[in-house]
Amino acid sequence: MQPHHEHRLNLPGRLRSLPAAAPRPDGWSDVQRRLALRSEASNRRYHAMRLAAAASVALVAVTAIWRIGDVSSERPGRAAELLQPLTAEQVISADRVAQLQSQSQALDEVLGGLGARPVVERAGTSLPIDTLETQVQWLDHQLSAGVGELEPRSAEQLWRRRVEAMNSLVQLRYVEAQRIDM
Amino acid sequence: MSVFLDTAIDPEVIARARAGDDAALAAIYRAFEVPVRTLARRLLASRTAAEDVTQDVFVDVMTRLHQFEGRGSFAGWVRSIAVTRCLMHLRSPWQRGRLWLVQATGVDDAGSASDGWEAMPGHAATSADSADAIDLERALAQLNSTARAVVWLHDVEGCTHAEIGALWGASASFSKSQLARAHARLRTLLHVDGVGTQCNPITSIV
C-alpha cells in the first residue's frame, strides 16, 4: 500500500494533524470585559435580593395596615356608623383616605427602589406593567384634577384603586427584575 | 495526542490566579486559548458561536477556579468545562432551531466551522497536506453535530467511549455506534473506499 493512501485511511491521524485555531490578539480583553459584566450582574443580584427583602417587609406592612383597615370597617358597629349623619361618614372616609395615601406613598418608595425598568423586557411582564402604569397615571390625573372637589367616598375609591394597582405593579416589577438578573 | 492534555501549567500560577492575580489569570488564558478555541471551532457549526463559547469557557474557568480540587490535571478540568459549554450550546433550543433553519434554507449567516479557519501561524504543510486538510474539514463539516463531536472527542481529544457516552447521558455503546457511523460517512465523503459521490475531494483537482 502506498504511504499516501495509508495516511488517507488513518482518519484519527488525519484529524489530529488538522491545524489548530490561531489565538486572537484581543481575546483576553474580551474575557476581562465579560468577567466585569458577570461581576456587575452578581452585585446587582445581591442588591436586588436585599431590595426584595425590604420590599417584602414593606408589602407585609402595607397588607397588614390594609387588613386592619378592613377589619375595623367590618366591626359590629359598622352598620350603625353607616347610618350616622353624612358629616361623620365624611370624617371616617377622610381617615381611610389618609390611610390609603400613606400606603400608596410606601408603595411609591418601594417602586422607586426597584430602579429603572430593564432595557431588555419579557413579553410576559412588559404588557401588564405598561397597563398598570397607565392605570396609575390615569388615577393620579383623576386625583389631582379633583383636589378639593371629590366626594370623600369617591376619593377613597380612587385611592384604594391606586393602592391596588401600585401593589400589583411593585410585585410585577420585582418579578421582572429577578428574571432579568437570572 | 490531545492539544489540551499537551498543555501544562505551573500549579503556582493556578494558586496565584485563585488569589485573583491578573497576570496569572492572563497566563492561564494564553496557555489554553488555542486548545479551547480549536475545540469550540471543531465542535460547533457556527464560527461566531465558537468565538462566543470560547469567551464563556474562560469566564467559567476564571470564576470557578476555587472549585478545581487538583485531583486530575488542570488541562483536563478546563477541557471538561469547554466540552460542557459546547454541548450546552448545541443542545440549546435556539441553536437547534437555527440548525433546522440552516438545513432547510441552506443559508448560514454565522459562518461554518470550516469557513475562514485561521490556522496557527507556523503550521507547516505541503500543498498535498493542506488540500487533504481542506477535504477533511469539508467532510467533517457535513457530519451532524453529535457525530462531529463524538469523532473529535474520541479521535483527537482521546476521550474514552464511556466518557463520551456519559456526556450525552448514554452508555459507551452510543459513542461506539456514533463513531463507527461517522467514520463510515467520512470515508465515503473523502472517497477513501473509492465510493461516494457527495463530496468532490479537492486533492483530485489540484
Rounded to whole angstroms, the Cα distance separating B206 from B202 reads 6
- Chain A hits for B1, CB-CB cut-off 8 Å, are 16
Average pLDDT over residues A27-56: 83
Alpha helix stretches (DSSP H) within chain B: 11-18, 22-43, 47-63, 74-91, 93-105, 127-141, 145-151, 161-167, 172-190
| Chain A contact set for B118 (CB, 8 A) | 21-22
Per DSSP, the residues of A15-52 read: HHTSPPBPPPTTHHHHHHHHHHHHHHHHHHHHHHHHHH
Q: What are the tens digits of pLDDT across the range B123-162?
A: 545 555 677 788 888 899 889 889 999 999 999 999 999 9
Contact B38 A20 (CB under 8 A): yes
Q: pLDDT confidence of A181, banded at 50, 70, 90?
A: low
Provide the grid cell at B41. Answer: 471551532
Question: What pLDDT is recorded for position A116?
Answer: 74
Say whether pLDDT at B107 is over 80.
no
DSSP A117: P
pLDDT average, residue stretch A88-106: 79
What does the pLDDT look like over B172-193, one tens digit per residue?
999 999 999 999 999 998 876 5
Q: Which of A51-65, B6-20, B30-44, B121-135 has the lowest mean pLDDT?
A: B121-135
Q: Is the pLDDT of residue B111 over 80?
A: no
Share the mean pLDDT of chain A.
77
Report helix angle A86-113 to A152-181, nearest 10: 20
CA distances, A13 to each of B57, B125, B132, B203 (Å): 27, 15, 12, 18
Instruction: Give the span between the Cα atoms of A46 and B9, in whole angstroms.
Output: 34
Which amino acid, A59? Answer: L
- A-B Cβ pairs (cutoff 8 Å, strict): 91
Q: What is the pLDDT of residue B118?
A: 57
Sort out which chain A residues have CB atoms less than 8 A from B54's CB and list them: 27
- The alpha carbon of residue B192 is apart from the nearest alpha carbon of chain A, in Å, by 6
Q: What is the pTM assigned to this prediction?
A: 0.58
Please give the backbone phi and psi of residue B112, each rounded to the nearest 5 degrees, phi first. Answer: -80, 165
B1-112 topology per CATH: Rna Polymerase Sigma Factor; Chain: A (1.10.1740)
pLDDT digits (tens, 9 = 90+) for A123-150: 667 778 888 888 888 888 888 877 667 7
Cα distances (Å, whole numbers) of residue B42 to A26, B47, B88: 21, 9, 15
Q: What is the pLDDT of residue B166?
A: 93
pLDDT at B54: 95
Residue B200: predicted pLDDT? 55
Domain ranges of chain B: 1-112, 126-206
Taking alpha carbons only, the member of A28, A105, A67, A43 closest to residue B27 is A28
Q: Which ipTM score applies to this complex?
A: 0.74
Element (H, E) at A92: helix A86-113
Say yes or no for a CB contact (<8 Å) between B192 and A27: no
Which of the four pLDDT bands, split at 50, 70 and 90, describes residue A86? low
CA–CA–CA angle B184, B37, B42 (5° rounding): 15
- CATH no., domain B126-206: 1.10.10.10
pLDDT at position B206 = 46
pLDDT of residue B195: 45
What is the structure's pLDDT at A170? Answer: 85
Q: Hey, are the CB atoms on B192 and A4 less than 8 Å from each other?
A: no
pLDDT of residue B192: 62
